[in-house]
Amino acid sequence: MDETLRGFSFACKPGCNFCCTTKLFVTSVEAELLLDSLDDKDWIKIYALPPYPRPKYTHNQLALLYFTGDEPKEENPEGEITSCPFLTSEGLCKVYHHRPLICRLLLSFITCSPSKPAEISEKLYLLSLISLQVAENLDFGGLYGNLFDLLKYLRDYKIGIIEEIPSHLLSTVEFEELPLLPDERELRGWVGWLYRRELPNGMTFRELLNTIKEDLKTQSGLSFLREIWSE
């Protein structure tokens, strides 16, 4: 997505953080990538956060509902939306290089303000939906929730404090149907480019995705997390 987004012109710049809040819904893989970059000061800030929004559905659950013609019962999460604790005193993101996908997609063609929300094109909106869907498919057998809930859970799980998954964390859902219409050739071409993209290990993105799914089908519970941390 970073490579794709270089083809757009955004008003976003360093220090622009109007969209950087605690309403961050991510997968467990994305949260795990942040763990080693956090220090004691970060954890103090995370545990001091007021109640923040929690998703009632995963991204793919919502996509599946809309795809089948159903409407979600309640989509607006409760909780207070405050500034992200990873913002520095200069208004920059401390974890910028490991930030979740949703952060990479919070972009705007105009400068945002409380009275002027972000503006993006329909193409970029659909690209964002597709990439979030693919990200959840990659976290096959994982968890979904607010970033800070996932960070706290994964930290406690890693050091052996907790074994059970809290009820406010959701299981990821695999859903392969992408929001593409037959005449959207450009978007279909982008998906094809993504799946055919060769990775450093010599596999294509699609081959890696299929390998992950096959490997995790043999795992029980969250045993794959133990493998991640034992490497």
Model confidence over 17-42: pLDDT tens digits?
Answer: 989 999 999 999 999 999 989 999 99
Contacts of 8 (CB under 8 A, 6+ apart): 107, 109, 124
Q: What value does the mean pLDDT take over residues 108-133? A: 91
pTM, two decimals, is: 0.87
How many domains does the chain contain in total?
A: 1
3-class secondary-structure state, position 154:
helix
Backbone phi, then psi, for 45, in 5-degree steps?
A: -65, -40
pLDDT at res. 10: 93
Give pLDDT tens digits for 33-75. 999 899 999 999 999 999 999 999 999 999 888 888 887 777 6
* Phi, then psi, of 34 in degrees rounded to 5: -90, -20
Enclosing domain of residue 199: 2-230
**With contact defined as beta carbons under 8 Å apart, do 12 and 104 qualify?**
no
Which pLDDT belongs to residue 229?
Answer: 44
User: What pLDDT does residue 29 have?
Assistant: 93
pLDDT of residue 230: 45
The answer to whether 60 and 173 have CB atoms below 8 angstroms apart is yes
Q: 104 or 138: which carries more pLDDT confidence?
A: 104
Q: What long-range pairs does 210-217 form, CB within 8 A, spacing at least 24?
A: 212/138, 212/140, 213/140, 213/174, 216/140, 216/141
Q: Which residues pair with 26 in a beta bridge?
A: 145
pLDDT average, residue stretch 143-158: 95
pLDDT at 225: 52
| pLDDT average, residue stretch 166-185 | 85
Q: What number of helices (H) and strands (E) belong to the chain?
A: 10, 3
Give CA–CA dist 187/124, Å, rounded. Answer: 10
Residue 231: is its pLDDT beyond 50?
no
Q: What is residue 222's predicted lDDT score, i.e. its pLDDT?
A: 53
Sequence-separated (6 or more) residues with CB below 8 Å from residue 51: 78, 79, 80
